[in-house]
């Protein structure tokens, strides 16, 4: 239960910060939790009230956070190779994240947006994977130094 709460909280926090930044950049002085140019955002803004749109956005951001928290559990399989864990994690996270990003109104439903999403996702995933790999390598070295004392 704690992981669900942590994931939901982190997802909503990051989603809220991103939506505020995007609203400052593109909102013409108004706050939009979803892009009005996306398929879902356009539909929601034409058929739902703003508080309802915000609730939908918060739920989708919470689900994204929960997905990432539980996706991280894949790296706890000690018998799997790093490559196997990474490939499985990548597949699970992108398959979970992409539909929720559409629901969140981040991308329109077209091939160009899909390719853009995949490219951005892969680049960010690789950068974060490299950073976390080196951080964990340093942790292992520190633990080994402590054990050798």
Q: Which of 30, 59, 62 is nearest to 45 (CA)?
A: 30
Q: Is the pLDDT of residue 17 over 90?
A: yes
Please classify residue 21 by burial: count the beta carbons closer than 10 Å to its beta carbon, then call 0-12 exposed, 13-18 middle and 19+ buried.
exposed
- What pLDDT is stored for residue 109 in this prediction? 80
DSSP string over 63-85: HHHHHHHHHHGGGG-TTS-HHHH
Percent of the chain at pLDDT above 70? 100
- What pLDDT is stored for residue 16 in this prediction? 94
Residue 49 DSSP label? -
CB atoms under 10 Å from CB of 34, counted, come to 23
- Cα distance between residue 137 and residue 149, in whole Å: 19
Percent of the chain at pLDDT above 90? 54
- Average of pLDDT values for 35-64? 90
- What pLDDT is stored for residue 55 in this prediction? 94
Mean of the per-residue pLDDT values for the chain?
A: 90
Helix or strand (DSSP H, E) at 34 = none
- Cα distance between residue 16 and residue 1, in whole Å: 22
- Average of pLDDT values for 96-112? 84
- Average of pLDDT values for 43-54? 92
């Amino acid at each position: 239960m704690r992981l669900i709460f942590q994931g939901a909280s982190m997802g909503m926090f990051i989603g809220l910060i991103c939506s505020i930044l995007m609203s400052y950049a593109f909102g013409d002085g108004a706050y939009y939790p979803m892009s009005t140019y996306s398929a879902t955002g356009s539909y929601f803004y034409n058929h739902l009230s703003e508080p309802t749109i915000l609730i939908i956005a918060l739920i989708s951001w919470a689900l994204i956070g929960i997905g990432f928290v539980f996706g991280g559990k894949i790296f706890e399989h000690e018998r799997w190779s790093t490559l196997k864990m990474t490939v499985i994690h990548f597949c699970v996270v992108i398959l979970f994240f992409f539909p929720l990003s559409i629901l969140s109104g981040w991308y329109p439903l077209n091939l160009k947006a899909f390719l853009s999403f995949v490219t951005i996702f892969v680049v960010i995933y690789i950068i974060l994977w490299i950073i976390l790999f080196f951080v964990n390598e340093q942790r292992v070295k520190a633990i080994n130094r402590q054990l050798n004392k």
